[in-house]
Amino acid sequence: MDDCSASGSGECILKITGLTKDYGPFRALDRVSFSVAQGEIVGLLGPNGAGKTTTINMILGILKATEGAIEVLGKDLDRHRSEISCSVNFAAVYAHVPANLTVRQNLYVFALLYGVRKIKERIADLVAEFDLERLADKKSGLLSSGELSRLSLAKALMNRPRLLLLDEPTASLDPSISLLVREKIKNYVRSVKAGILWTSHNMSEIEEVCDKVLFLSHGQILLEGDPGKLPAEHGKKDLEELFITVAREPVSLKE
Amino acid sequence: MSLYRTLAIFVRQVFLFKSNPTRLVSIFLWLIIDIIQWGFISRYLGSLGQATFSFITVILGAIILWEFMARIEQGIMMAFLEDIWSQNFINFFASPLKVREYLGGLILTSITSGAAAFVGIAMGIFVSGIIFRLGPSAEWLGWPIPMVLSIFSGVYYPISTLPPYLQVFARVIPPAYVFESCRAVLATGNLPAGYAFDLAAGALIAAAYLAATSLFFVRVYRRNLESGSISRFNAEAL
């Protein structure tokens, strides 16, 4: 399903058509098509090396596709990258912010990069929202992994993005903070009418948060559907069991 | 091109200096050490009584000028390396930041932290481009380049000292024109014939290098978009 109107939701935030990435003879992503509608949280799942990060990097514009098209808010990424980037942001465990800058300084630099207005007020709001007040003047390199994740999420919401890409956003958070963060993100999607592409290896989190999931295997979309119904449709008791099957016996699901 | 985004790269560097003022020391420390060291060497050579011109004015003047250019080259490279060391490339290049705004920020940083010289800036962009192309493991290439170029630039001796086949290299290194003119003025007290032409030629070559190295950096950036190197830099820098 690559058409937002088919999902019954509103405006199409992200539309991907036939996305392919080759590294020489190796095909990392093979004609992937999907969409994220306004107010929708889509889970991008799959074992390591399935093509999730490749997909995210191409949507972020830091990796060029071999074939296919990416449209964000109806605009082609190839032709409007800088303009589109103003409406997109992301948080990922592997994308660090400069360690020698304080939390507040990092947020200030990213506010300038994203052309945020009323920077001080916006930083104050985010610092309060992600409980970073007492850490605001601490160097980012001295933060714990959970605190860094909160900073990364604050940075990701800096420009009030319409498309938010979250690569394991709660991986380093304790269960209590993780729950709070999930609530904040769900509220954010509703209030800003954004769309989210969410990757995680925590299947219970995916079941709780996502409206739709896509299973990638060897660069192709193997399955997609409602995370509440998909396991039963394939004779599995839950999403975790389905994930394990995708990782170990993807051929059995194709048949 | 957004001034705000260029400014963001510059502001990031200002914050770095603010958080660790010892970084500022590095801009001047090597220059001061060189001046002191060469001051003593010049004094010693002068005491031998065989000097036909002032070692202090000629050598120290050349060293100060050369050190400024080397600092600028390393200023650009250091600002670029900050993003490698902090594993920040994805955050920057996934934002609306354009590659020319990023380069503008690096240049602004370097100009502010040293004296402006096209050659130093061009060298810095070129070395950053090489590291961008080959990955963080190529960082070591950036450090000796000013020293290698100084061999052909006539910082410490006239270009005529070089064997004829090496003098060819001096013709395409802009600082060589500056140092030769300075040396001629100090030795004779007169402006050499054709000095204006030489300086203009040096400035033109320097401007051409700046344009060429900027294009080189942009090409490497585009190539990295194809190969996925920007995201891989993070893992490689660990």
DSSP result, chain B = --HHHHHHHHHHHHHHHHH-THHHHHHHHHHHHHHHHHHHHHHHHHHTT--SS-HHHHHHHHHHHHHHHHHHHHHHHHHHHHHHHTT-HHHHHTSS--HHHHHHHHHHHHHHHS---HHHHHHHHHHHHHHHHH-GGGGGGGTTHHHHHHHHHTSSS-GGGS-HHHHHHHHT-HHHHHHHHHHHHHHHSSPPTTHHHHHHHHHHHHHHHHHHHHHHHHHHHHHHHHHTHHHHHHHHT-
A6 has pLDDT over 60: no
The count of C-alpha atoms lying within 13 angstroms of the C-alpha of A2, restricted to the half-sphere facing its C-beta, is 14
The pLDDT, as a whole number, for residue A3 is 54
As annotated, the residues of chain A forming the CATH 3.40.50.300 domain(s) are 4-87+161-254
Closest CA to A61 of B145, B96, B115: B96
Would you say residue A1 has pLDDT above 80?
no
Q: Is the distance from CB of A173 to CB of A148 less than 8 angstroms?
A: no
Is A8 a residue whose pLDDT tops 60?
no
Q: Is B108 on the interface with A (CB under 8 A)?
A: no
Confidence of residue B133 (pLDDT cuts 50, 70, 90): confident
* Residue A226 pLDDT greater than 60, yes or no: yes
Which pLDDT belongs to residue A77?
94
State chain B's mean pLDDT as an integer.
76
| Mean pLDDT value of segment B147-174 | 83
> Is the model more confident about B117 or about A180?
A180
- What's the rounded mean pLDDT across residues B3-19? 85
- Is 60 exceeded by the pLDDT of residue B106? yes
Q: What is the pLDDT of residues B143-156, one digit of tens each?
A: 777 778 888 887 77
Interface A–B counts its CB contacts (< 8 A) at 109
Interchain proximity A85–B225, CB inside 8 Å: no
Structure tokens at B219: 């090409």
Residue type present at position B142: G
Candidate from A78-92, A213-227, B88-102, B219-233 with smallest mean pLDDT:
B219-233
Nearest to B20 among A60, A64, A100 (CB): A100
Q: What is the CATH number of domain A4-87+161-254?
A: 3.40.50.300
pLDDT for the residue B237: 44
Chain B contacts of A90, Cβ < 8 Å? Answer: 94
Residue B42 has pLDDT above 90, yes or no: no
Residues A146, A148, A152, A155, CA torsion sign: positive
Report chain B residues whose CB lies below 8 A from the CB of A96: 86-88, 91, 234
State the pLDDT at residue A155.
95
What are the pLDDT digits (tens) for A165-219?
998 888 878 888 888 889 989 999 989 899 999 998 889 899 999 999 999 988 9
**Structure confidence at residue A29 (pLDDT):** 94
Q: How far is CA B156 from CA B50, B72, B74, in A?
A: 17, 19, 20
pLDDT at B62 over 80: no
> Which residues of chain B have a CB within 8 Å of the CB of A94?
87, 90, 231, 234-235
- Residue ranges making up the domain that contains B48: 3-236
Chain B partners of A52 at a C-beta cutoff of 8 Å? none
Higher pLDDT, B138 or A87: A87
Residue of chain B minimizing CA distance to A82: B96
List pLDDT tens digits, range A63-81: 999 999 999 999 999 999 8
B88 touches chain A (CB under 8 A): yes
- CA-based nearest residue to B16, from A118, A153, A109, A94: A109
Residue B35 has pLDDT above 70, yes or no: no
User: For chain A, what's the residue count?
Assistant: 255
Percent of chain B with pLDDT over 70: 75
Side chain identity at residue A6, one-letter code: A
Hey, how many other C-beta atoms are within 10 angstroms of the C-beta on A39?
18
C-alpha distances out from residue A227 to A1, A34, A243, B36, B223, Å: 15, 16, 11, 72, 38
Residue A164 has pLDDT above 90, yes or no: yes
What letter does residue A201 receive in the DSSP assignment?
Answer: S
Interchain pair B93, A97: CB under 8 A: no
Buried/exposed B16-26: b ≥16 CB within 10 Å, e otherwise: beeeeeebeee
Residue B115 pLDDT more than 50?
Answer: no
CA distance A144 to A57: 26
Residue with more model confidence, B89 or B116: B89
Please, which pLDDT band fits residue A106 given cuts at 50, 70 and 90?
very high
Residues A104-117, mean pLDDT to the nearest whole number:
94
- The total number of structural domains that make up chain B: 1
Write down the pLDDT at residue B57: 60
Q: What is the pLDDT of residue A34?
A: 96
Cα A188 to its chain centre, rounded Å, is: 14
Nearest to B88 among A62, A86, A97 (CB): A97
Structure-token pair, residue B80: 């670029």
Q: How far, in Å, CA of B176 to CA of B193, rounded?
A: 16
Whole-angstrom distance, CA of residue A49 vs CA of residue A67: 19
Interface of B with A in 12-31 (CB under 8 A): 12, 15-16, 19-20
CA distance B84 to chain A (A): 10
The whole-number pLDDT of residue B60 equals 65
Long-range contacts, A47-53 (Cβ 8 Å, 24+): A47/A217, A47/A243, A47/A246, A47/A247, A50/A216, A50/A217, A50/A218, A50/A219, A51/A21, A51/A216, A51/A218, A51/A219, A51/A220, A52/A167, A52/A199, A52/A216, A53/A167, A53/A199, A53/B231
Structure tokens at B122: 């061009």
Instruction: Tell me the chain A residues in contact with residue B4 when contact means C-beta distances shorter than 8 Å.
Output: 112-113, 115
Q: Which residue has the higher pLDDT, B159 or A91?
A: A91
